[in-house]
Amino acid sequence: MGPFLLFARRLLFEPGQLSLALFFATISAAGLGAGLLGLGPTLGLILGDNGTSLPELARRFNESKPFIGVPEILIGWLPLGRFEGVLVVLGGLTLLTIVGATANFLHQYISLHLCAKVIARIRLDAFRHAIRMPLSEVVRVGPAEFSSRVIRDCAELQSGLLALMGRTMAQLTKGTASLLVAIYVDWRIVVVVAIAGPVLYVILRKTGKRIRRGTKGALRHQATLLRVTSESLQGLRAIKTSTAETSMLGRFKHANALVIREQLRARTARSLASPLIETLTILVVVGLATLAVREIMRGTLTFAEFLLSLGSLAVAASSMRPLTGLVAEMQAASAPAERLRELLSIEAEPQTSHDRPNLLRHQHWIRFEGVTFRYPNADSLALSKIDLEIRHGEHIAVVGPNGCGKTTLLSMLPRLLEPQEGRVLVDGTDIRSVNIRSLRRQIGVVTQEAVLIQGTISQNIALGIPCATESQIKEAARRAHADGFIQMIPGGYEAEVAEQGASLSGGQRQRIAIARAVLRDPAILILDEATSQVDAESEAQISQAIAEFGRQRTVIAVAHRLSTMLAADRIVVMNRGSIVDSGTHAELIGRCDVYSRLVTAQLQTNESATTSRT
């Protein structure tokens, strides 16, 4: 359970609450132990010879156990009658029961609070690490996998911590207290326990490994289940229009069957562990009873002591019995703990670093020098020896067929991806040598699919700039040509945006994304097919907003539409991960075959769209 114990150590970060939980668990167990010891006088009063009273039993006890004797002043208060003595003992046992129950409640309450706090911190650490990981790592593994680890695995780990802090601690302390009472009556019980202990350890270790492997496999396939569910519900419009419900249901069934298969891998171990422990417990009790009977026949052990010893062992056995299931829960929690440890071990992007200088605001040029990049498990290079220089204030359009590396190239500038060879310079400074946050603060990005969060329009515009004022947000929206439609929406800037921006049109979402970029006041504006999926009217407004805001800024746009190409100062043509040409539209149309084919295809698309409308 190494990974589980690694996270369980975080309980030590709350020493006050941990100590209180342990203290109340001990008090509860001590009450049980004292109650069991109190049975001795009760049995003596009931089963003893005539004339035996509670004070007499107390004096006999003091003679046999002088180091923990009953104070003489207290003996003087004890009643002489046997029946009255029994009532006193039973009243004391009742009081101990109340104290133990109260302590047990406080232990469980504190344990639940402590585990919830620790898991909240682990979940926060996991999410913080996930969003700070390199984009290439998220692309390689898949966002659903990381979502599953942050949410599902933390929930599974919490179950293990609760089993450890709550029931395990309570049962272990109670079982130990009961066993100590039995040992107090007859120390030879220690020998039997010493023999049974290693056998118990071997059983738990063997079954625990199988449980851990099955749980880890189930969590892995649950991540697949989460991905299929997210893809289906987020793309429900496309699924319905494509009549793909049956296909998606088949994918879900397959993933669900894999989850069940892995969960059932551990069924034998879970089912076998409890009967084995119960059998071992019965054998131990039988052995101890045989030992006690022999001592009674020899006269070295009274019948009352025998009953007390046997009762204590029974209570200890009943307290220890649930530990099998609890250990299984902790073994199961070891699998999500291992997955969380793997997540936290992935190297994150460097954040604010005092040993790296901030990048000064871009004023001169951007240069890509010999930039080469290959995606994991890809057969060919996504970028191959890219050399490109862009002057400050220049408007560049990057064009090329699908998959030629346009988006990959633009991802190098904000360091979403890192070149495996070559470097990227801004005003002569290698961007890998500066604080990454100072680099990204200078860059505004508008992608093909505008990313909106569930919140107000103001919150979406101010995403990443929580200190933005209302006037700054409205000014950014006005410059993005978004203020007009925002004012027409009920609630205006405080109107709630549905999940994924479903309550807004594509053009409206893009203009909010542009407003978000405007608010950052970037020196560099990156547009990744920002107008490829909007209508002509929205495209015109978006293009006008970009043209106005892009003045005195470096603008780099991935372009598919001819209007975007014509608006650029220079067009860079890419094909198969390389730059094949660059120049103006007039220069390229006659000399670059790749560019000519792109323009021809765009013109044909425009003609088809015009014909269909007429």
> Is the model's pLDDT at 314 over the cut of 90?
no
Q: Which secondary structure element, helix H or strand E, spans residue 388, and what is its range?
A: strand 383-391
> Is the model's pLDDT at 365 over the cut of 80?
yes
Looking from the CA of 380 toward its CB, the CA atoms found within 13 Å total 10
The CA distance from 96 to 31, in Å, is 5
Q: Length of the chain, please?
A: 614
The CA distance from 79 to 147, in Å, is 68
Closest CA to 452 of 510, 519, 521, 367: 510
Pairing outcome for strands 429-430 and 578-583: unpaired
CA dist list (Å): 265 to 207, 485, 564: 11, 57, 57
Angle at 317 between CA 315 and CA 320, to 5 degrees: 110
Q: What is the pLDDT of residue 242?
A: 59
CA dist list (Å): 366 to 72, 206, 386, 422, 569: 93, 61, 13, 14, 15
Q: What is the pLDDT of residue 40?
A: 58
Q: Over 154-181, what HEC string results? A: HHHHHHHHHHHHHHHHHHHHHHHHHHHH
Beta-carbon contacts of residue 563 (< 8 Å; ≥ 6 apart): 531, 539, 543
Closest CA to 424 of 412, 408, 407, 410: 412
Of 110 and 464, which is predicted with more confidence?
Answer: 110
The CA distance from 555 to 358, in Å, is 22
User: Are 168 and 316 in contact, with CB atoms under 8 Å apart?
Assistant: no
Cβ count within 10 A of residue 21? 26
Residue pointed to by tokens 């290693």: 198
Q: What is the pLDDT of residue 611?
A: 47
> Is the model's pLDDT at 148 over the cut of 90?
no
CA dist list (Å): 258 to 39, 101, 225, 244, 452: 54, 44, 9, 22, 34
Cβ count within 10 A of residue 457? 25
Q: What is the pLDDT of residue 201?
A: 61
pLDDT tens digits along 75-126: 666 776 667 766 776 777 778 778 888 888 888 889 888 988 999 899 888 8
Pairing outcome for strands 570-575 and 578-583: antiparallel
Strand order in the sheet with 383-391: 383-391, 365-373, 421-426, 429-430
Across the chain, mean pLDDT equals 79
In the predicted model, what is the mean pLDDT of residues 575-603? 88
Q: What is the pLDDT of residue 610?
A: 47
> Is the model's pLDDT at 73 over the cut of 50?
yes
Beta-carbon contacts of residue 168 (< 8 Å; ≥ 6 apart): 323, 326, 327, 330
The CA distance from 563 to 406, in Å, is 18
Pairing outcome for strands 365-373 and 383-391: antiparallel
- What's the pLDDT band for 238 if we cut at 50, 70, 90? low
Please state at what angle helix 506-519 crosses helix 536-549, rounded to 10 degrees: 10
> Is the model's pLDDT at 357 over the cut of 80?
yes
Residue pointed to by tokens 């990959």: 408
Pairing outcome for strands 554-558 and 429-430: unpaired
Which range among 272-281, 403-412, 471-480 shows the weakest confidence by mean pLDDT? Answer: 272-281
Q: Is 501 left (phi over 0), alpha (psi -120 to 50) or beta?
A: left
pLDDT tens digits along 29-51: 877 776 666 565 555 555 555 55
Write down all domains in the chain, each with its CATH number in brackets.
Answer: 2-345 (1.20.1560.10), 365-442+522-613 (3.40.50.300)
> Is the model's pLDDT at 190 over the cut of 60?
no
The CA distance from 568 to 588, in Å, is 13
Of 51 and 569, which is predicted with more confidence?
Answer: 569
Strand partners, 496: 456
